[in-house]
Amino acid sequence: MAGPNLRERSRHGFVSRQILAEGAVIAAARAAPAAVSPLAVGGAQGETFFDFMFGELRGQGLTATDADLLALANAMVEPDLAPGDPAQAGLDNPDIPAGFTYLGQFVDHDITLDLTPLSEAMADPEMTRNFRTPGLDLDCVYGAGPGPHRFLFARGPNADGQVVDTPKLLLGAAEVSIENPDRPGQQVPQLPNDLQRNAQGVALIGDHRNDENLIVAQIHLAFLKFHNAVVDHLKGTVPDDRLFAEAARTVRWHYQWMVLHDWVERLTEPGIVARILHEGRKFYRFKTKPFMPWEFSGAVYRLGHSMVRPRYNHNRIFRTPEPHLAEGTFNFFFRFTNLSGGLDSGTPGQGTFPSNWVIDWRRYFDLPAPDAIKAEFNHSRRLDPLLAGALHRLPGAESGSAKASLAFRNLRRGVQIGLPSGQAVAALIRRKIAFDPISPAEIATGPDGAVAKSLGFDAKTPLWYYILKEAELRGAGRRLGPVGGRIVAEVFIGLVQGDEGSYLSDPAWTPHLPADVPGTFFMADLLKFVAAWESPADPDKSLNPVGD
């Protein structure tokens, strides 16, 4: 968890500097605490615990048999189309680039870590510990800071030539690898594009889960580089003994702003952050410190599983069109990691991260790219109840078994921890917000809906399935519906408001690092900022190290 040396604690005000209607929002937000009840609906245990967001429904969890849940899970499979099939476009979400699927996973690892055995969580969900601080503070990157976790930081010479700890994070290298078949005799050189690893290939990072798949590992690396770029950006403007703390604060505040405006508003709707800050949170309440809601972590925020593609145009080497070495399949992304795959040695050529798998960011986020690259751009899959086939055949489980299905695991966990039905949650939200809930007849639409109806899940629907079906029906598969969108927005806003060291603690603050639109900061801006720092003469070399 983040130590106190990572934060500057100051007065806390619920203030937003938004893109839209700034003046009115700020004036209203300053009065927001008075509109928020000091009593928490959930979160009796406070920070570091999971609890129920809708406490009125505690003890009213949906009941279902494993057989029924497996039957529904088996219906939640997207069509298995060939890579060149024109119908592929109908499965894509043109509003959310595929990189956000894994940025969302990175954010999840920043705010939640449940190490409690499921049997204990089932016995008393309110006493389940969250071993990650429930805040957007990047403790997954910084750990406890330069002192306790100095293994995360680089060493270098000081002004006297002595080798000392520096405020920069440690980076690794991707080893020399084979080239594309169309370039015989050539190799991809060693590239500064991997996490630092120990002799067994284990990534030296603040959260081991960020070496779970290749793309989230590359995103984690981008944040390490982002911090180092900010250190250089600030050097000379603050005292050396304050350089790490100031750089970490700058990184965290831009990240917090980005999560609310580039991630939450893509999932929900433009302007929702400003509106909730203006009106106050209506459902996610806590006394002083945020807790992690079961409804969010156990159901709603598992929306990312619907966004996963079965294959990706990863770079010029691992892509679907010819020539290529292989397709960038989802299973490959697990193979080239240590936590889930085969990176198990620090000896070059024996399990280190190969340079030909370094990401081409232009294929994952909305960055400038040649037309040929734009044609291979990866969109996320639509937000709907259908998951890629690979997620129904998880590695490490017997093929065809219930445990091999991520959909079944999600549905079953929701029942085990006592999550209420989607209809019960929607009814509570409708007491304070007007919207058109999805009906049993709408839930029953489509092949998956027909199965849901046959099992009685059209009237009492597992919350995770309800959120995805609502996104399909009310968000056209491009964004969440009113129930899912409200929960996601309120939780993330609450996490930032509940952190007295967040950017909301400074009413005058706006993002100030270079960005396409001054006063904003999006993921594409972060990647371009890193690229300009890493390769000033040729930023494209950083965005696409493997080359065109």
Q: What is the pLDDT of residue 349?
A: 53
pLDDT above 60 for 174: yes
Q: What is the pLDDT of residue 133?
A: 66
Full DSSP string of 156-210: EE-TTS-EEEEEEEP-EEEBPEE--TTSTT-EEPPEEEE--B-TT--B-SS-GGG
| Residues shown for the chain | 548
Q: What is the pLDDT of residue 114?
A: 53
Q: What is the pLDDT of residues 12-39, one digit of tens each?
A: 222 222 222 323 332 333 333 333 332 2
| pLDDT level of residue 346 (50, 70, 90 thresholds) | low
Coil, strand or helix at 129: strand
Coil, strand or helix at 546: coil
Rounded alpha-carbon distances, angstroms, from residue 428 to 286, 327, 435, 443, 473: 18, 46, 12, 19, 20
Note whether 381 and 388 are within 8 A (CB).
Answer: yes
Q: What is the pLDDT of residue 341?
A: 83
Q: Which secondary-structure segment (H or E) carries 50?
A: strand 50-51
pLDDT above 50 for 522: yes
CB proximity list for 196: less than 8 A, separation 6 or greater = 170, 171, 172, 203, 204, 205
Note whether 62 and 419 are within 8 A (CB).
Answer: yes
pLDDT above 70 for 125: no
Segments of 239-335 assigned E as strands? 292-293, 311-312, 328-329
Q: What is the pLDDT of residue 44?
A: 44
What is the sign, positive or negative, of the torsion defined by CA atoms of 14, 111, 429, 124? negative
Q: What is the pLDDT of residue 48?
A: 54
In angstroms, rounded to a whole number, what is the distance separating the alpha carbons of residues 528 and 362?
10
Closest CA relative to residue 384, chosen from 403, 361, 407:
407
| Higher per-residue pLDDT: 290 or 119 | 290
Q: Are strands 379-381 and 328-329 parallel, antiparallel or unpaired?
A: unpaired
Q: What is the widest separation between alpha-carbon atoms in the chain?
A: 75
| pLDDT level of residue 363 (50, 70, 90 thresholds) | very high
Q: What is the pLDDT of residue 76?
A: 98
Lowest mean pLDDT, pick from 130-144, 187-201, 276-290, 291-305: 130-144
| Higher per-residue pLDDT: 48 or 134 | 134
* CB atoms closer than 10 angstroms to residue 159: 7
Q: What is the pLDDT of residue 200?
A: 86
Closest CA relative to residue 494, chosen from 101, 41, 102, 124:
41
| pLDDT level of residue 335 (50, 70, 90 thresholds) | confident
Q: What is the pLDDT of residues 278-325, one digit of tens each?
A: 999 999 999 888 999 999 999 999 999 999 999 999 999 999 988 889
| pLDDT level of residue 547 (50, 70, 90 thresholds) | very high
The 3-state secondary structure of 344-396, one letter per residue: CCCCCCCCCCEHHHCCCHHHCCCCCCCHHHHCCCCEEECCCCCECHHHHCCCC
In angstroms, rounded to a whole number, what is the distance separating the alpha carbons of residues 400 and 387?
16
**Which pTM does this prediction carry?**
0.88
Q: What is the pLDDT of residue 17?
A: 25
* CB atoms closer than 10 angstroms to residue 453: 16
Q: Are strands 292-293 and 50-51 parallel, antiparallel or unpaired?
A: parallel
The 3-state secondary structure of 387-455, one letter per residue: ECHHHHCCCCCCCCCHHHCHHHHHHHHHHHCCCCEHHHHHHHHHCCCCCCCCCHHHHCCHHHHHHHHHC
Note whether 17 and 3 are within 8 A (CB).
Answer: no
The two structure tokens encoding residue 349:
């050529």
pLDDT over 90, % of the chain: 73
Task: List, in sequence order, every residue forming a beta bridge with 312; answer none if it has no partner.
Answer: 328
Report the chain's mean pLDDT, rounded to a whole number.
87
Q: What is the pLDDT of residue 323?
A: 85
Q: What is the pLDDT of residues 232-287, one digit of tens each?
A: 999 999 999 999 999 999 999 999 999 999 999 999 999 999 999 999 999 999 98
| pLDDT level of residue 3 (50, 70, 90 thresholds) | very low
Task: End-to-end CA distance of the chain: give it in Å, rounded.
Answer: 40
| Higher per-residue pLDDT: 342 or 68 | 68
Q: What is the pLDDT of residue 45?
A: 46
In angstroms, rounded to a whole number, what is the distance separating the alpha carbons of residues 403 and 267?
29
| pLDDT level of residue 67 (50, 70, 90 thresholds) | very high
Q: What is the pLDDT of residue 294?
A: 94
Q: What is the pLDDT of residue 77?
A: 97
